[in-house]
Structure 1
Amino acid sequence: MKTSVQAGVAGLLACGTLVTVVLTTRDGGDSHTGVTYSAPSKGPYVALGDSYTAGPGITDPTGTPAGCDRSAGNYPALVAAELGVKAGDFRDMSCSGATTTDLTTSQSTDDGTNPPQLRAISSTTRLITIGIGGNDIGFSSMIKRCVAMGALYQMAGSGKYFAEDAPCERNYVKGDSDTVTKKIATAGTRLTRVLNEVKRRAPEARIYVVSYPALLPADSADCGRDMSLAPGDVTFLREKEQQLNTMLRQRSSEAGAGYVDTYAPSADHNACAAQATRWIEPLVPKSPAAPVHPNARGERGMADAVLRTIRSAL
């Protein structure tokens, strides 16, 4: 069964253009919200970010350089399509491995160099999404290290874990010293500078910082088979991701930018959820995606979160 409600909403964007919002609800657990929008008449869209924005492995790489591993099915492409943004008005600058530094300087990849991502922004830009920060704190390397230690710990314990055990966490937290928390604070300072520069270059743009979706489950004991993590380290990594997202929310608010929460809608679709429902692939992907990265369902869910946030802002 399908129901639709069409509402013409006249609103003035910063550029003074008219926006029409069409809402369509669809039945089915995996179907997206069906929210569609007409693009502002003068509304170029620029997407900035790292691999969670680029969507590596979902489709063959698109755009240049090929080393950025952008997917034609990543959330910026889906958002642009829903908004009806013309091809010439959509620039996806996201690149796997990007940090906040790569937003303002060139980034070398295994196959080509990505120019500074902010170069795509101008005074005519009207929509900007930014998904960044995970590589600033070395989150991917943290996961790899914790997985390796978890596998060794599992072998040493004859395949048994204990909930309080977190062999990897002890490498990052010693007494009152928490190296990850310090890196998150440093990333926050860099993000503030980036957001200020984005606003300077595109003063009439709507800017949205996009958070990271839930990678790990709330029940730490549910992830040993798929991720080879000790339960205590599942808790540690989950809390650090939430801490990173909290920083993204706070810094975006302070800079007057919007914030897109992808964590809440993805909570039951983490890497340890069932293959048919998860948004994040585990260490050995069963669907096209990079390990511990969003699959096509995840990028669709992130796109829907962006569209919902845009809708609520209007």
Structure 2
Amino acid sequence: MVRRLLVLLSATALVLGVAVPVHAARSEVYVALGDSAASGPLVPNQVVPDLGCWRSDRNYAHLTAQAIGAATFRDVTCSGAKTRDMYNSQGTDLGSVAPQLDALSSDTTLVTVQIGANDVGLTGFIEDCLNLLPPPVGDACNDDYVVDGQDSWRVKTDALRPKLTTLVNDIRARSPRARIFVVGYATYAPPNGCYPTVPIIKADANYIRATLQYFNRMLAEQAAAAGVAFVDLQTPSVGHDPCKAPGVRWIEPYVPASPAAPFHPNGLGMRNFATVVTAAVSGAL
């Protein structure tokens, strides 16, 4: 009976030209966890409460929730979040917010989580490599991160592995019915960069690129080890990095031309990331 009703509704919708949400029959209870790459700082419109989290009502989680017809949606993504803020209250510029895992419940059916970049300081790392004057006047930054012959960013990235495994297990414990998706990070630098459009010299741009690729591989590996899905945003965002022109790029450069924080997704990026995330959660049924 239910199946016939769904077929009838779909047929009616096609006749009327109405889009049927992908998961309308599933009554999804969707919870979005994550940091500023997920929350969408400065992307219109910033929502209340928790203004200190710089959360947009047009981030990829909101758009995905609309696309799948989620019956319940809770977005607790927050700028500056680290893995510890999944478990503990997070301080923001405008007050404290509850631990993100508090948004989970036993009836949660879908979770996306994009976290880890702030644990290792990737955004600050990119900004540290800005160089207004090229060599020989300006200094490269990549060699500053080799300590005792080891790449300190890779050491930090590897140290995060067990925390992510624990986090996935804790999400599963709180929401045993949920399908869990670990979301990766976008492409922030093309090969060789684009100095001076984005003032990061060639060697540093390639170092940033390799560092983020390693970080995304780590996320994918930990998701696989924990038995959950990984959503790759790096590959589809190739050609849409901060070096590209407005209207093409999905990530804004240090001086944004669209409402977005520097080196964060703009509205166009969020729409395209929502397409990727929606396809991933829809294809995992």
Q: Check the 8 A contact 2:113/2:183 in 1, yes or no.
A: yes
- Map of 1:237 onto structure 2: 208
- Map of 2:80 onto structure 1: 97
User: How do 1:37-52 and structure 2 match up within 5 A?
Assistant: 37-52=22-37
Partner SS, residue 225 of structure 1: coil
CA distance in 1, matches of 2:48, 2:180: 23
1:189 aligns with 2:162: yes
Spell out, residue by residue over 1:131-186, the C-alpha distance to the aligned partner (whole angstroms, 9 max, x if none). 11110110111111111xx22445716xxxxxxxx710111124521111111012
- Map of 2:132 onto structure 1: 151
1:71 aligns with 2:56: yes
Return the match for 1:294 from 261, 265, 271.
Answer: 265
Q: Check the 8 A contact 1:50/1:131 in 2, yes or no.
A: yes
Q: Check the 8 A contact 2:247/2:268 in 1, yes or no.
A: no
Deviation at 1:203, TM superposition (A): 0.8
Deviation at 1:234, TM superposition (A): 0.2
1:215 aligns with 2:188: yes
CA distance in 2, matches of 1:246, 1:62: 32
1:180 aligns with 2:180: no
- Map of 1:253 onto structure 2: 224
Partner SS, residue 45 of structure 1: strand
Q: Which blocks of at least 5 consecutive residues in structure 2 are unaligned?
A: 11-18
| Superposition TM-score, scaled by structure 1 size | 0.82
Partner SS, residue 129 of structure 2: helix
- Map of 2:238 onto structure 1: 267
Deviation at 1:241, TM superposition (A): 0.5
Deviation at 1:63, TM superposition (A): 2.9
CA distance in 2, matches of 1:277, 1:36: 28
User: How do 1:16-31 and structure 2 match up within 5 A?
Assistant: none
Q: Check the 8 A contact 1:80/1:90 in 2, yes or no.
A: yes
Partner SS, residue 263 of structure 1: coil
- Map of 2:119 onto structure 1: 136
| Superposition TM-score, scaled by structure 2 size | 0.90
Deviation at 1:35, TM superposition (A): 9.6
Return the match for 2:171 from 174, 198, 213.
Answer: 198
CA distance in 2, matches of 1:117, 1:214: 26
Spell out, residue by residue over 1:217-267, the C-alpha distance to the aligned partner (whole angstroms, 9 max, x if none). 12x1x4212221110000000111111100110111111111101111100
Spell out, residue by residue over 1:188-213, the C-alpha distance to the aligned partner (whole angstroms, 9 max, x if none). 22111100100111111000001101
**Structure 2 vs 1, CA of residues 35 and 168 (structure 1 numbering), >3 Å: closer, same or farther?**
farther
Q: Check the 8 A contact 2:27/2:70 in 1, yes or no.
A: no
Name the % identity.
40
- Map of 1:82 onto structure 2: 67
Q: Which blocks of at least 5 consecutive residues in structure 1 are unaligned?
A: 1-9, 11-17, 23-33, 158-165
Where does structure 1 differ by over 6 angstroms across 4 or more consecutive aligned residues? none
1:171 aligns with 2:144: yes
**Structure 2 vs 1, CA of residues 309 and 298 (structure 1 numbering), >3 Å: closer, same or farther?**
same
Q: Check the 8 A contact 1:279/1:294 in 2, yes or no.
A: yes
CA distance in 1, matches of 2:234, 2:20: 19
Spell out, residue by residue over 1:24-61, the C-alpha distance to the aligned partner (whole angstroms, 9 max, x if none). xxxxxxxxxx9951245442100000001000111142
Q: Check the 8 A contact 2:30/2:73 in 1, yes or no.
A: yes
Partner SS, residue 270 of structure 2: helix
User: How do 1:99-118 and structure 2 match up within 5 A?
Assistant: 99-118=82-101
CA distance in 2, matches of 1:273, 1:152: 21
The number of equivalent residue pairs is: 271
Q: Check the 8 A contact 1:35/1:307 in 2, yes or no.
A: no
CA distance in 1, matches of 2:126, 2:216: 17
**Structure 2 vs 1, CA of residues 35 and 41 (structure 1 numbering), >3 Å: closer, same or farther?**
closer
What is the aligned-residue RMSD (CA, Å)? 2.0
